[in-house]
């Protein structure tokens, strides 16, 4: 299961207008904790396939979107439901903590 790669150009259509909740991983290739979170996000994407969309947004490539959502440190996970941020997790976290957040909104 691969992540949906979102960019500044498709953020609106892929995330804000999505019928399914979207969990966006704000990351950068130089960020160690972001890389460590990768396999965790893969497992989340697998477990919730068809229920939510797991997306990755490279903050270096999409600084406008990152600043729009006040991303100060990465990794940051934002859960969007019907275009609104309903949950946020900042920093390296566990699959259980991510699932807890998702489960309270789906």
Catalytic residues: 31, 34
E strands in the chain? 4-6, 22-27, 53-58, 76-81, 84-90
Rounded to an integer, what distance in angstroms lies between the CA atom of residue 3 and that of residue 54?
A: 6
Q: What element of type H or E holds 68?
A: helix 63-68
């Amino acid at each position: 299961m691969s992540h949906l790669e979102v960019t500044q150009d498709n953020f609106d259509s892929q995330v804000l207008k999505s019928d399914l909740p979207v969990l966006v991983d704000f990351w950068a290739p130089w960020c160690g904790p972001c890389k460590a979170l990768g396999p965790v996000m893969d497992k989340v994407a697998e477990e919730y396939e068809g229920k939510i969309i797991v997306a990755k947004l490279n903050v270096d490539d999409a600084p406008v979107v990152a600043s729009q959502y006040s991303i100060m440190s990465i990794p940051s996970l934002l859960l969007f439901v019907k275009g609104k941020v309903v949950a946020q997790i900042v920093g390296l976290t566990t699959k259980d903590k991510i699932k807890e957040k998702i489960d309270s909104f789906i």
